Structure 1
Amino acid sequence: MVEIAPHLTIPDSELVERFVRASGPGGQNVNKVATAVELRFDVAGSPSLPEPLRARLLARRDRRLTDEGVLVISAQRFRTQERNREDARERLASFIAAALEVPKPRVATRPSRASKERRLSGKRERGTIKRERTRRDWD
């Protein structure tokens, strides 16, 4: 079971783990043992997730999310299968925990009159500097 928050856990039955050969260091061992972990979690079809959280997760533009709403995490940072398995589960928990926080709605504001004036005066100053550069007769 993966615990995300005190009120939210994901049972192991919803996780699909596949072990594959990892690239990188490991010597002869790397060619024989499948230490890398590919963890799949169906965000769109999970009964463990509340609906608002599911919508926030699916709305994220993350390359690890497939078009079907399946989150694919591959872990091959460590040399042992067990450590990679823990790493993948930790990354899943942090991905979901990041979406637990409801984003504060943005309040549309307008620039103040003084800030508009500062911007325009800065543009005017810059324009005069550039204009003076071209008017000079260099002979």
Structure 2
Amino acid sequence: MRSGMAEDLKINDQLVVPDSELRERFSRSSGPGGQGVNTTDSRVELSFDVERSHSLSDEHRQRLLERLAHRLTGGVLTVAASEHRAQLSNREAARDRLAALLREALAPPPPPRRPTKMSKGAKQRRLQSKKHRSAIKQLRRGAHD
């Protein structure tokens, strides 16, 4: 199934997905491509089994399963690349895309927002501005009302 590029996929400083947990499938790309389009399997599908991976901690696995639930099929995350004519370029693009997806899903959630109160001075300025606008509009009405 593999030829040549047996290399682990580095997601971040803490996580590296071993090459043995990645599956590649090759097929023909659709669209124009000249004479070679019917003979070269340049489209690449890269799959990573999130549910059964040994390289993920329980915390990482849980976070990935929650955040990527809409992208998973049976616990497997699949990414396809067919934008390049060369299979090697599509393999690199698929690996980059998979790493970026996993990196984004593993990022810690943002800190919760602390609600803040409007200061008294800001309230007064806002009300003063509204009164001023109201007065201007009152003057526009004229005496014919």
Relative to the length of structure 2, the TM-score reads 0.69
For the 8 Å contact 1:21–1:34, the answer to whether it is kept is yes
The aligned counterpart of 1:43 is 50
For the 8 Å contact 1:43–1:70, the answer to whether it is kept is yes
Give the percent of matched residue pairs that are identical in Structure 1 and Structure 2: 45
Secondary structure at the residue paired with 1:87?
A: helix
Deviation of the 1:111 alpha carbon: 7.7
Structure 1: which 5+ residue stretches go unaligned?
Answer: 118-139
Structure 2: which 5+ residue stretches go unaligned?
Answer: 1-7, 124-145
Matched ranges for 1:10-49 at <5 A: 10-49=17-56
Runs of 4+ in 1 over 3 A off after TM superposition: 107-112
The aligned counterpart of 1:6 is 13
For the 8 Å contact 1:53–1:99, the answer to whether it is kept is no
* Cα RMSD (Å): 3.5
Which amino acid in the other structure matches residue 58 of structure 1?
A: L
Secondary structure at the residue paired with 1:5?
A: coil
Secondary structure at the residue paired with 1:53?
A: helix
The aligned counterpart of 1:131 is none
For the 8 Å contact 2:47–2:79, the answer to whether it is kept is yes
For the 8 Å contact 1:17–1:39, the answer to whether it is kept is yes
Matched ranges for 1:84-103 at <5 A: 84-103=90-109
Deviation of the 1:104 alpha carbon: 2.8
For the 8 Å contact 1:41–1:71, the answer to whether it is kept is yes
Structure 2: distance between partners of 1:6 and 1:108: 30
Deviation of the 1:68 alpha carbon: 1.4
Structure 2: distance between partners of 1:32 and 1:106: 53
For the pair 1:53 / 2:60, whether they are aligned, the reply is: yes
Report the count of equivalent residues: 135
For the 8 Å contact 1:16–1:41, the answer to whether it is kept is yes
Task: Compare CA radii of gyration and give the structure with the larger one.
Answer: 2
For the 8 Å contact 1:38–1:74, the answer to whether it is kept is yes
Structure 2: distance between partners of 1:68 and 1:24: 29
1:69 pairs, out of 69, 75, 78, with: 75
